Structure 1
Amino acid sequence: MTADGSGRRTDALADLSRRRLLAGLGGLGAIGAASGAGTFAYLTDDERLPRNRIGAGEVALDVSCSDSSGNGGCTVSNGLVSYTPENPIDRGDWGDVTFDVSVRTNPARLWFATTCPPTRDPLGEELDVSLRVGDEWVFPSGSLSELRREFADGLRVDDRDGGACLDPEGDALEIELAWELPADAPADAGGETTAFEFRLYTEQCRHVSEGDAAGSNPYAGIDCDEPRDGCPNCDYAGKVDVDERIVRSDAGDASTWLAIDEGPLAGDAYLLVTDVEYKDDDEEAVGVRFDLVDANGDPAGELCEVRIKGGNDTATYPIEPPSTDTGETLYAPENDGGNPAGISNVQIDVCVDDDGGNGDDDDPVDCECGGNVRYRDLTFRYDGGSDAAIRVTTQRTGGGDEVVFEEATIASGGTFTADGSDVSQTWANVGTSLGQNTTIEIVSGGDSGASERVEVHTSCSEVLAIGDTFGSDGSGGTLYELVGGTFTDENALCGSEDLR
């Protein structure tokens, strides 16, 4: 623990005015769908983006960026703002990037939250960074990985310059990250690159009182796993057959990820390709680097071994320590000519608990969700004080939304059921179920300040249990409680005490 009690290093990088430490970093989540420098995003509360949210009322956001080399270097794709340095970062390199965020339509509160770092990230552990929001260095000094763990549970940023709420007529809010890779950093940290990304959540100030604003942070409670040296068991998790040309994935576009199509993680996990090497004809991939992610782009497990098949042979790569990404480009075995063969499939093993992830034999309940087992229906209790007309929709994996609870007036203490038994889905062999995200909306009525729209993640990336609560009632309490539900295999939803 350091002298300031923060647990982070206090030897802030010298001369911040000369070397503005870096700004960006893997995972603050953003809103938008555009690319290139300049203004990236204009959104309303009608847009639904995985893990990125817009709160009550219509809010439009602009996001732009510039770095120390004078380049924009930023992209926005399907809600993810991303900045990647033009060149790999080597020992002794430094730089910075600044994001300007502004609202167009109505005064709004703003939160951001980092995504958790990979459990193995040599560059992230060694890259010294500092983060400034407005006039305040909210993270004076520490590693990029420390920063990502620090703000995974969200940070309100609209009130950093004294007053609450961003004003459409005011100046843009600056978010700046300055970075430096020390000259004495380990060799495996140099010559690497990384993307710095963030998500934002915003809500109109007039829809939620300042006294209730603390309950609006959608990232509250998220906690990152600390790195570990090994895992109890390294078990087979799945395989990807390579039938088409492998391309570098777009982090914001799941259609560019390689879906696990065989094994325990089939339908639930993907390979997000971060680097590819090809044969001379630039068509067939011979090497690949990837992250293991779920449908939301979040880590789906820790890789402990990867096998790359090419030709008649298979190359085996232990991942030590276990990590959510491969850490380097992995190659297919060499052919008779001494060159890497084209990749025909990729097999992965992941860390599992001592019981193999299946619990004890005397466990009387089955709380598993994933693969061919999804949420069929969920029943919620409405805890608002005033009657409200409520409607519920869920996403279809093929695109669009489906109503799963028709608009009806619900009294305080009344229940309603989101039923996905007639909603066709394309993932795994489920057939029908609730989609990746299910949205509860108050169409009319309800309490002043209560959440108008509440999104529940129903993709199995987050475990749901009876007793979970969602939304704000506008008076410091929650708006909905999950009181029942059924999986597609007919098993009932579990209570929190039953979850493994």
Structure 2
Amino acid sequence: MSKQLELTRRRVLAGLGTIGAAGAAAGLGTSAYLNDTESFVGNTLEAGELDLYVHYDFMVDQGSASGNFDGPLSGTVQGDEDVSEGVGVSYSLSDVKPGDEGSLEFCFSLVDNPAYLWMSGELTDDSENAVTEPEGDTPWETGDGGELATYTRAALYYTGETSDSNDDDVLLTEGTLLGVLSDLHAGVPLHGDGDPTAGVVDRPTFDGGDSTDEPTDDTCVRLDWWVPTWVGNEIQADSVGFDLQFYAEQARNNTGVGDWTLVSTGDDLQTAVDDASSGDTLLLEAGTHTGEVTVDKTLDIRGEGPSNTTYDAFDVGGSGSLTGGRDLGMKIRADNVRVGDLTATGADQVIQYNDNSGSSGRLAGGLVSNTAIVDNGNDGRGRALVLNYIDGAIVRDTAIEDNGNDGLTGWYANDCHVETVHAARNGDNGLYFNGDNNVILDSTVEENQEEGVDVSWKGDRSRTEQRVTLDNVVARNNGQSGSLPAGEGEDIELHDDDGDDSVADDSALLRKVDTSGSSAPLGLRLVDVEPAQVRTENSTFPNGIQDGNDNDVDP
């Protein structure tokens, strides 16, 4: 038996400060599994009980500030079978500034049977609220939405209920608050032994017991958040709100898959996609799955972890081979498709969002997470991961390595978010983008054959403005090809292909970009880009910055 958690209330508080202000609300719900007595003639069967209690412990550190937290810092919540909306706990904070931090820790009591647990989360608010004078004094501020979810960092851990330190914590995922909540949105299976590499099917359960006051299992989860001190005026007056939920399902006679559809290695993946309904989750069991597939509906396609599940599109690791054309593996033609928790290999373009022309219109959303995209197109064809004509895609916590051409290509892609990515040893560029308002942060791009990061501003565009932000990016040792064309092989290259040097139209922010120790021929090249179009903050380019004619420039 199972019951989805819902929340009774959410609150978002906003306060104003000299640097930034925001409120975060986290709602917590619990679920109760209560079975009544079943009677048969001459026999009585009493159903077992599964009742989920969640013990919470919150922490906030705002330095000398006080009084900004609204709500209890600790307590226990229990689901009520008679309350359809469940119960909730708010985590509301105002006047958030760079340097602030906090945590939300949850431990569990299961009365009285062991159970599988899931955790899910959702960003419910990411508001600009107002554009203050310091925030608006930059061409990078659009006023279209808040930046606090992007610039608040978060990390989710397994932690021990009886542990007095964090030394034994096990990381599940980390990145921006936006990215972590995107991962949690479809639900994350929790492991009773705190080992996230154990897969999903028949994973360790959480222990049951009699206590409702103390956790019945030593494994807890903790969500840490912090706003880095280098974040500036862009978060002023912004606010975020988010919900967290927990879901329990009995362990007996159950494999822990929940309402997901398990796809075995011998099953035809295209048939599984065709048979699914929009909004379903397909769980690719541990092992190797092969075959081209077209995804034409909103689905969550996930494996049991990159070390357990492999999608080898053309069975290159087995008896198959590439055809010599441009071999496409997973062709995504629907909004908000998530692919994650697997290794993707064996194609030229192994995951492609939208076709190369965008003839059917632009796609919205999409998430690639906790994925190893490796060894694709090793004859130089194709681009391993492609985001064509798409708005708002997220790529995070992903290794893009040893592919024959570009590692990641964003082609006429807008509002895309790339974080905690390692793009290395690819046959052309590590990351390539054209389009507007794309953000690359907390990533390392190294040892690619040509450019590490290549950004192009096009003349035929879907938006007047085209902006890119690189935040906290390490780019080094790119330009590895032994036959580089003249003017190629930089750690980062920006080139303006439309001939318009207007800062309002095309601009780049490079903040905390580190190319120190790099063997690349050049740190940053600006091709037909005026220095005024580029702003650098706390960035290092010891190998120099030049224009397209090899002249030194100073943005």
Q: Same fold (TM over 0.5)?
A: no
Q: TM-score, normalised by structure 2?
A: 0.29
Q: TM-score, normalised by structure 1?
A: 0.32
When Rg is computed on C-alpha atoms for both structures, the one with the higher figure is 2
